[in-house]
């Protein structure tokens, strides 16, 4: 048990938290009631009283929402009833409250490990919703077609079986009521106390399935045959009458007439009874085939329409995702960092800035593609860090470049003009108006006997920064170079 105030692990027998002093007597009662409701729900689930188990487990969670055992069992019951979305919701919440050693991981993995099964569950929910919509708007035939597919795909989906049975019950055909009762009997095997199923079965109490025991009226008492009465020969009339002499029978046409009459009667019976029955049977078969064909066509049209709508929706989503992807990849910026990279560099610069390492902050900020920053707040943050770090970074690189030029500092005893040029150019990257860096770049190129490049930097100081303290020095160096 965890303390409700400080979340410390406390033995259940404790009445007070040893860490924060919280009184746990009332909390223990709440936990006990929650566990009792869970145990009751577990017993009800074992005997297939799923509706009662759902009620008990919900009560358990009302007292203790962190009872992950109750929540996992509730998800299993929803899964058994075909309510996949409700089951996944309970398991995800359970995973939130208990991230480790939770059976919900195994249950979720069991569903997600098979993409075909997950897609099948998704299709059943879509078809059930479509069937419910059709039934609510008076299109019962289309609803029956959709629900047949749902029940075939997921026979444990109780709500789909109940809705299909209700649609069958609304017709006057006995065979449909037989189908409805079969569906309800199967649903009753899953949840024996479901009130909707029981109410529908009561409505179909006069319908009997094959093999179902039905109470019969007692058979009539059979009368025994009377004992055969033996009559003495003397009492039989003409018992002693003499037999007449043998006489040969004369030919008769009656047998032939009887045969002809029998054939005529047989043909008449065939014409009036058998042939119409055959034609009626054939007509019924044709009607049945036509009905099946109509149902298949209606189902095909429904599927085609649904697939078209889904295809259009997916196409629109794909185009939107492509646009978003193009924006995220930073397309349209020339050679700059992508959207994600720019934000990573900005975060890195922010961290350096908070650590008061302005030089590294400026280096990270220089990698940011300013065009990819769309949010106003983000641009304000970028400008603020840039303003407070670039100038210091420029001065830092200038000092290092000057030391390399003079052979001082870490370059003591050895002048390195190439290194000085690289460092001074970095200084100009962060501070384009740094005339000190310009002047020493000119000095480096002058020392390397590259007068044209040296003149370029000296003239830039004179032309663009005439109020700079380096103007007089630049003029002096230009006179040295012949200008």
Q: What is the rounded average pLDDT of the residues 118-142?
A: 88
pLDDT at residue 239, rounded to an integer: 35
**What would the pLDDT profile of 406-427 be if each residue is shown by its tens digit?**
888 787 778 888 888 988 888 8
Q: Which residues pair with 9 in a beta bridge?
A: 2
pTM above 0.85, yes or no: no
Q: Residue holding tokens 């059930």? A: 128
Asked whether 427 and 434 are in contact (CB, 8 A), the reply is yes
**What would the pLDDT profile of 277-304 be if each residue is shown by its tens digit?**
787 788 888 888 888 887 888 777 777 8
The 10 Å Cβ neighbour count of residue 273 is 10
pLDDT at residue 181, rounded to an integer: 86
Is the pLDDT score of 218 beyond 50?
Answer: no
Burial label for 151, CB within 10 Å (0-12, 13-18, 19+), is: buried
% of the chain beyond a pLDDT of 90: 6
Domains plus CATH for the chain?
25-113 (1.25.40.10), 118-203 (1.25.40.10), 339-480 (1.25.40.10)
Asked whether 152 and 130 are in contact (CB, 8 A), the reply is no
Q: Residue holding tokens 């409701």? A: 37
pLDDT at residue 58, rounded to an integer: 92
CA distance 64 to 318: 43
What residues have CB less than 8 Å from 435, skipping those under 6 apart? 461, 465, 468, 469, 470
Q: Which two tokens stand for residue 386?
A: 């840039």
Is the pLDDT score of 178 beyond 80?
Answer: yes
Asked whether 440 and 458 are in contact (CB, 8 A), the reply is no
């Amino acid at each position: 048990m965890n303390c409700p105030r400080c979340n410390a692990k406390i033995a259940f027998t404790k009445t007070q938290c040893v860490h924060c002093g919280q009184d746990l007597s009332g909390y223990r009662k709440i936990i006990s009631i929650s566990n009792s409701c869970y145990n009751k729900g577990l017993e009800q689930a074992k005997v297939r009283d799923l509706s009662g188990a759902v009620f008990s487990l919900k009560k358990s969670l009302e007292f203790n929402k962190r009872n992950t055992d109750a929540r996992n069992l509730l998800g299993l019951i929803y899964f058994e009833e075909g309510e996949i979305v409700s089951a996944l919701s309970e398991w995800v919440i359970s995973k939130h409250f208990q991230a480790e050693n939770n059976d919900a991981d195994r249950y979720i993995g069991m569903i997600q490990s098979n993409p075909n099964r997950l897609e099948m569950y998704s299709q059943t929910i879509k078809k059930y919703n479509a069937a419910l919509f059709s039934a609510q708007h008076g299109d019962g035939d289309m609803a029956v077609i959709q629900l047949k597919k749902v029940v075939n795909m997921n026979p444990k989906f109780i709500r789909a079986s109940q809705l299909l049975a209700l649609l069958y019950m609304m017709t006057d055909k006995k065979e449909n009521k037989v189908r409805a009762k079969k569906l309800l009997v199967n649903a009753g095997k899953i949840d024996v106390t479901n009130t909707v199923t029981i109410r529908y079965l009561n409505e179909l109490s006069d319908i009997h399935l094959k093999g179902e025991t039905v109470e019969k009226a007692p058979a009539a008492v059979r009368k025994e045959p009377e004992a055969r009465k033996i009559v003495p020969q003397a009492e039989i009339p003409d018992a002693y009458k003499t037999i007449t002499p043998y006489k040969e029978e004369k030919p008769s046409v009656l047998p032939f007439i009887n045969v002809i009459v029998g054939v005529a009667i047989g043909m008449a019976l065939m014409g009036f009874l058998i042939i119409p029955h055959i034609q009626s049977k054939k007509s019924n078969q044709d009607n049945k085939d036509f009905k099946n064909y109509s149902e298949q066509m209606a189902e095909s049209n429904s599927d085609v329409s649904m697939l078209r709508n889904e295809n259009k929706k997916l196409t629109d989503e794909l185009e939107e995702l492509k646009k978003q992807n193009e924006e995220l990849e930073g397309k349209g910026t020339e050679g700059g960092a992508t959207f994600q990279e720019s934000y990573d560099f900005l975060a890195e610069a922010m961290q350096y800035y908070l650590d008061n390492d302005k030089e590294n902050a400026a280096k990270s900020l220089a990698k940011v593609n300013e065009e990819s920053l769309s949010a106003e707040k983000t641009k304000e943050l970028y400008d603020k860090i840039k303003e407070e770090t670039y100038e210091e970074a420029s001065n830092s690189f200038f000092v290092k470049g000057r030391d390399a030029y003079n052979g001082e500092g870490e370059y003591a005893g050895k002048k390195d003009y190439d290194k000085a040029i690289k460092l001074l150019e970095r200084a100009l990257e962060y501070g384009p108006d740094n005339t000190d860096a310009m002047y020493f770049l000119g000095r480096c190129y002058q020392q390397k006997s590259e007068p044209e490049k040296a003149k370029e930097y000296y003239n830039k100081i004179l032309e663009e920064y005439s109020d700079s303290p380096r103007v007089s020095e630049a003029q002096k160096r230009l006179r040295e170079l012949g200008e």
